[in-house]
A = this chain, B = another copy of it.
Amino acid sequence: MAEGFEVTPWKVEGKIDYDVFARQAGIRPIDDGLKERIKRITGDLHFMLRRNIYYAHRELNWLLDEYEKGNKFYLYTGIAPSGSMTIGHLIPFVFAQWLQEKFDAEIYIQIPDEEKFLAKKGLTLEGIHQLAYEDALDILALGFKKGKTKIFFDTDYAGHLYRHAVRVAKRLTFSSVKDAFGMTNEANIGWIFYTSMQAVPAFLKSVEENRNVPCLIPLAIDQDVHFRLARDVVEKLGYYKPSIIHAKFLPALSGASKMSASDKSETIYIEDDHAAVEKKIGRAFTGQQATAELQKRYGGDVDKCVVCQYYRFFFEQDDRKLESIFHAERSGTMLAGEHKAHLAKTINAYLDDLRKKREYYRDRLDDYIVRD
């Protein structure tokens, strides 16, 4: 943690400096010119782009060049199940759904049910496989298009994935994987191999169509390392390097850099009921002054206030309304209790709606999930 933080797919520690991360990873900031270009093409700019939640990229300009030449891209993203999905997990999918709509793109959604099994203790493959179905419902509830959306669980789709994963794997040494992920020689051989399974969907459509199809991967920054390894390999195999667009993490309720699925009190799960959300948000960090009087005098810091950040990341998509929430926080006119009660109500309404929508898909999973 030379920079005071550490980010790998399996561990996020410290206070992340997103600019430092971008420099270290060699990823480019999404500047105003690029935002303008996206807006010109799509007629719109997703709030996560406007607010620099999606803040960096790899070769997005090239991807848009291809798009404007008529060479459409497909999307690829995913989630490794280990328990109920959190609000933070939804971010790449909310954004991917917007991309699908605006670019009329097909999407491949990988649910690597073996990943957490291999990387963590105490999980069974059968248990994770069951969770994978629940994750698929949460994802579909966001409104992905039928006929343009393929979801696959690695263990059920290995017949399609493994033959290509070995082609990637042949070009990755243990040394390189060890360094990239911070593994030791005591890492298990499945976990070591896993990154090559995650690489495959980045060129699978090119394989299937027997022509080169550009690919865009929306992801949170902790997943970038997989593709830092794989992009060169994918190119050596004769396919386009995937383009990537990188999100920041939704903060934990404590204010820590990342909402973690494994810390139950710091995290809001899609399955949390109203009382649980109220309780958790009630304890969220706001950084407000010690008394109402002091808060009114000095105001709060929206960057540190988790409640403000939850509005920014997810629960207030209208910039003007967000600004008025920020103004109330800065000016000290909105006190923590009221602020939190309103957010809890907003979250509960969102989750109620999502949970209702997800049930619609329970009997329709076969329209989306592909198997060997």
Interface set of A (CB-CB < 8 Å, partner B): 114, 117-118, 125, 154-163, 165-175, 177-178, 183, 185-193, 195-196, 372
Indicate whether A125 sits within 8 Å of B167 (C-beta atoms), given known contacts A172-B189, A185-B178, A189-B172: yes
Is A188 within 8 A of B173, CB to CB? Answer: yes
Contact of A169 among B118, B156, B185 (CB under 8 A): B118
Is A188 within 8 A of B161, CB to CB? Answer: no
Extra contacts, 7 of them, besides A125-B167, A166-B190, A174-B183 (Cβ < 8 A), are A155-B162, A158-B163, A159-B160, A169-B189, A170-B191, A172-B189, A172-B190
On chain B, the residues within 8 Å of A173 by CB distance are: 185-189
On chain B, the residues within 8 Å of A186 by CB distance are: 173-175
Contact of A162 among B158, B183, B187, B189 (CB under 8 A): B158
Contact of A118 among B166, B175, B185 (CB under 8 A): B166
Is A166 within 8 A of B372, CB to CB? Answer: no
Q: How far is the CB of A228 from chain B (nearest CB, A)?
A: 15
Between A175, A190, A196, the greatest number of chain B beta carbons within 10 A of the residue's beta carbon is seen for A190
Q: How many copies does the complex hold?
A: 2
Q: How far is the CB of A125 from chain B (nearest CB, A)?
A: 6
Indicate whether A192 sits within 8 Å of B163 (C-beta atoms), given known contacts A118-B169, A158-B158: no
Complex A-B: 12 CB contacts under 8 Å: A118-B166, A154-B162, A158-B163, A161-B162, A169-B189, A169-B190, A172-B189, A174-B189, A175-B186, A189-B196, A190-B196, A192-B192
Q: How far is the CB of A178 from chain B (nearest CB, A)?
A: 7
Q: How far is the CB of A117 from chain B (nearest CB, A)?
A: 7
On chain B, the residues within 8 Å of A191 by CB distance are: 169-170
A185 CA / B154 CA spacing, docked (Å): 27
On chain B, the residues within 8 Å of A118 by CB distance are: 166, 169-170
A114 CA / B156 CA spacing, docked (Å): 19
On chain B, the residues within 8 Å of A162 by CB distance are: 114, 154-155, 158, 161-162
- Residue ID in chain B nearest A190 by CB atoms: B169
Is A189 within 8 A of B192, CB to CB? Answer: yes
